[in-house]
Amino acid sequence: MFLVNDKLKIDIYVTVINVRGLLDSLPEKKDDMVYVNGFQVVDSQVNSAKWIFETYPETALYIQPQVPELKTAYMNISIRIYETLYNSSLEMLTEAEIVNVSKSLLDLTLAGFKLEWLREKLEKVSVERKKLSSYEAQARELGKQLKNLELMMCNLKES
């Protein structure tokens, strides 16, 4: 503990003994991994990783974890978020997925990733998804009204 510019600064050192649950989606073979800007990524995600680093080079400049497995896990999470937000159709995204992306973005930000660009995209996708849900609800309501009208027309013809 020490003071910096009249603010108390506390350095916390954490030793990672075991990483669980973060690397489940990574392949078993190391051959399937490629280094991009010092991060191991699955070879199928190389283009996404390159795009992130070329477009937003500040993304991983200040990350905290130094454990390679943890860095890899964080980077793969950020790539999955990118692919979800940029490549998934609105119809396929659920509210639960949007909430999970939001939570993951918070975790990555706390780890030092600069992901404001992804946060903005998430907000945009979230608003668009809500609009789509609203339109879908209106369409269902109009469908019900149409069925009721068709039923009334059928009843009128029978009378």
State pLDDT tens for residues 9-47.
Answer: 665 555 555 444 444 444 444 558 888 888 888 888 999
The per-residue pLDDT for 152 is 83
- Cα distance between residue 79 and residue 50, in whole Å: 10
Instruction: Output the CA angle 115-116-121, nearest 5 degrees.
Output: 100
What is the model's pLDDT at position 1?
57
Is the confidence at residue 4, as pLDDT, over 50? Answer: yes
Mean predicted lDDT score pLDDT of the chain? 80
Higher pLDDT, 154 or 54: 54
Residue scoring higher pLDDT (145 or 48)? 48
Whether the CA torsion 90, 92, 98, 104 is positive or negative: it is negative
Q: What is the mean pLDDT of residues 58-82?
A: 85
Average pLDDT over residues 58-86: 86
pLDDT in tens, 98-124: 889 999 999 999 988 999 999 999 999
What lies within 8 Å, CB to CB, of 69 at 6+ separation is 16, 19, 22, 23
Strands (E), 85-149: none
